[in-house]
Structure 1
Amino acid sequence: MTGLSAQAQAVLAERAEAGGRPMREAPLEESRAGQWEWLPYMGEPADLAKVEDRFIPSRSAEIPVRIYTPPGEGPFPALVAFHGGCWIVGNIDLADRPHRLLSSTTGCVVVAVNYQKAPEHPFPVPLEDCYAGYRWTFDHADELGVERSRIGVAGDSAGGNLAAAVCLKARELNEQLPAAQLLIYPALDPQLETASAKEFADGYGLTTEDMRWSWEQYAPEAAARSTALVAPLQAASLGGLPPAVVVTAEFDILRDEGLAYAERLAAADVPTVPLHYQDSIHGFLWMAGRAEATTRMLGDVREGLRTVGMIRSRIESVDR
């Protein structure tokens, strides 16, 4: 584990000692309940001006969203956020502290979407819910105190997959593109044949076999797993997509697909800010209470969003 921070090593040791079955072997109820064991790692909730719960319409259901508004006067930039959890576990209650921190650090309104989960609701339902959340934010920008031209999408892990897919879907439908895409160690390719998927297959938090199983729950039909809206790295072209900030962690099975996506975006002339953390593991967005890399990364994300035009000034995101 040379290069891995002592803080990340301590988290991995604690989680290994806690035990528990791999997700692919455990009942869904057990895996979903077990996610709450991450709460002590997240740090204290960040203070914001307002937090509001709403329900919004999607194609197949009314879904919850949670709206985080930072201090200051709008109109604000906004990030429509999709939490991680292999498309299967997690919710906006569990991800509350990371989303608060994202809003507090970036100065963006964050609209967190509680999309329906696989395997009960496989593709395309989670993507439809996330796209509905993006469109709802766009349609209700004035009400939310948000500047319509600065509404981006964000997600970590499976949520990063959904954020990337929302951008691809908007391009496919020839609708308004998000202003930016923030992809935090995104899941982009179900093949899982990269060097990082092999090198860190077990013992670093997210395992390759659990990730492979999760892809099968999200997209049960093998043919779907080769399409761009399921697996964005399979897209024939990434041209014309929104500016991107792409976060990767060195000790993560998803490292290489995130790096490859950032490289392909840049090669397609999409303004791209790659942020790589040599000392970190998958999931470190949720470790603000234990890993200094989380705070460092979110500060870098703020600067990256400024670079791609989502945040206009230092005053807007720091001095509120």
Structure 2
Amino acid sequence: MPVTLDPDAAAVYKAFQEAGRPPYENGTPAEARELYLKGRVVSNPEPPELAEVKPLSIPAPHGAIPARIYTPKNLRRADGAAPCLVFYHGGGWVIGDLDSHDVVCRKLAHEGKLIVISVDYRLAPEHKFPAAVDDAISAAKWVAANAKTLGIDNKRLMVGGDSAGGNLAAVVALAARDGDGPAIAGQVLIYPATDFAMAHPSHREPETSILLTHSVIKWFCNHYLSGAADIHDWRASPARANTLVGLPPAYVLTVGADPLRDEGDEYAARLRQAGVPVTYKHFPGQFHGFFTMGKLLNQANVAASEIGVWLKALN
């Protein structure tokens, strides 16, 4: 499928090329993490002013999971409780943290008029699959169990994330449907990774490999998974779940220049076929990762606003 970048996306991509930023797969995970954080500084938009941002510590079997809770000034409450989005950051399960997606979480809290709780799940290769999944599920369970203390309405508890975080959100929704987790009212899947087989056409098309390339995805995969058998586990590849029936309403976002484009599109279609209400938005002229770049790419701000509208309509 031909991809033509929007002018601003093309300009950003050109700037990245001219800067000579080394590919993640040429360095160590620690070097990739540092590089990723530096990129966020120059591309994040100005954050909206919130009522409160506080650290959280979520108990888990292996030890505490760091988290951060965002409360907007325009919070919608009913009987003293507010809707909540549990957010999982992107970064290929190898890079990214609370700081890399801090502005994104602030924007989603403001646009959705809800509480956002960002989860700093364990990263690979120090912690292989399914450590990130275990943390993601544990965090959702803890938020629901402590909803009253947090001022959250656990009937309006949603999950979301971008890329690897979209994968984790989809997996948490599946686990919760099957009894391993709280009831989930909605899922926000921003260019999610859904199938580690990496066999969809968009993985092979050169036009899709802009910032996230097929080779980078393989590098992430090799760090995250322990072997080929993990590919077929629905906790790694949610598209391989036996059925998608009974999942909560979904907002699925994909972009044109993205090796993950086709699997995200297919997952949205399969959700619809399973009877799940789906809002699907495609940004054909943007590349994977654009959502965090609102300072440089206005379409990222448009996407955040549209997700906010969807979240408000949902609850």
Q: Could you tell me the TM-score, scaled by structure 2's length? A: 0.94
Partner of 2:19: 18
Partner of 1:115: 121
> Which residues of 2 match residues 36-75 of structure 1 at below 5 A?
36-38=37-39, 39-72=41-74, 74=77, 75=81
Unaligned residue ranges in structure 2 (runs of 5+):
none
Higher mean C-alpha deviation, range 156-165 or range 3-12: 3-12
Q: Are the aligned partners of 1:171 and 1:241 in contact in 2 as well (CA < 8 Å)?
A: yes
Shift, 1:20, TM fit: 3.2
Q: Are the aligned partners of 2:172 and 2:181 in contact in 1 as well (CA < 8 Å)?
A: no
Q: Deviations over 1:248-289 (max 9, x none)?
A: 011111111000000000000011111111221101111110
Partner of 2:90: 84
Q: Deviations over 1:63-105 (max 9, x none)?
A: 1100000114532211000000000011001211111111111
Shift, 1:128, TM fit: 0.9
Residue among 153, 159, 167 paired with 2:173 = 167
How far apart, CA to CA, are the structure 1 residues paired with 2:13 and 2:209?
8
How far apart, CA to CA, are the structure 2 residues paired with 1:179 and 1:200?
37
Q: Are the aligned partners of 2:83 and 2:153 in contact in 1 as well (CA < 8 Å)?
A: yes
Equivalent pairs counted in the alignment come to 309
How far apart, CA to CA, are the structure 2 residues paired with 1:242 and 1:202?
30
How far apart, CA to CA, are the structure 1 residues paired with 2:264 and 2:42?
27
How far apart, CA to CA, are the structure 1 residues paired with 2:45 and 2:148?
32
Mapped pair 1:283 → 2:295: no
How far apart, CA to CA, are the structure 2 residues paired with 1:12 and 1:33?
20
Q: Which amino acid aligns with 2:166?
A: G
Shift, 1:182, TM fit: 0.3
Higher mean C-alpha deviation, range 197-206 or range 76-85: 197-206
Residue among 103, 107, 132 paired with 2:109 = 103
How far apart, CA to CA, are the structure 2 residues paired with 1:30 and 1:18?
17
What is the aligned-residue identity percentage? 36
Q: Which amino acid aligns with 1:141?
A: A
Q: Deviations over 1:193-217 (max 9, x none)?
A: 2221111467510000110221222
RMSD of aligned C-alpha atoms?
1.6
Q: Which amino acid aligns with 2:18?
A: E
Q: Could you tell me the TM-score, scaled by structure 1's length? A: 0.92
Q: Deviations over 1:25-52 (max 9, x none)?
A: 2112211110122221111122111000
Residue among 194, 200, 215 paired with 2:200 = 194
SS in 2 for 1:205: coil
Partner of 1:316: none
Q: Are the aligned partners of 2:68 and 2:118 in contact in 1 as well (CA < 8 Å)?
A: yes
Partner of 1:261: 267
Q: Compared with structure 1, are the counterparts of its residues 87 and 201 closer, same or farther at alpha carbon in structure 2 (3 Å cutoff)?
A: farther
How far apart, CA to CA, are the structure 1 residues paired with 2:208 and 2:255?
15
Q: Which amino acid aligns with 1:156?
A: D
SS in 2 for 1:173: coil
How far apart, CA to CA, are the structure 2 residues paired with 1:97 and 1:150?
23
How far apart, CA to CA, are the structure 1 residues paired with 2:206 and 2:266?
17
Q: Deviations over 1:290-320 (max 9, x none)?
A: 111011111221233345x2x3xxxxxxxxx
SS in 1 for 2:57: strand
How far apart, CA to CA, are the structure 1 residues paired with 2:12 and 2:209?
11
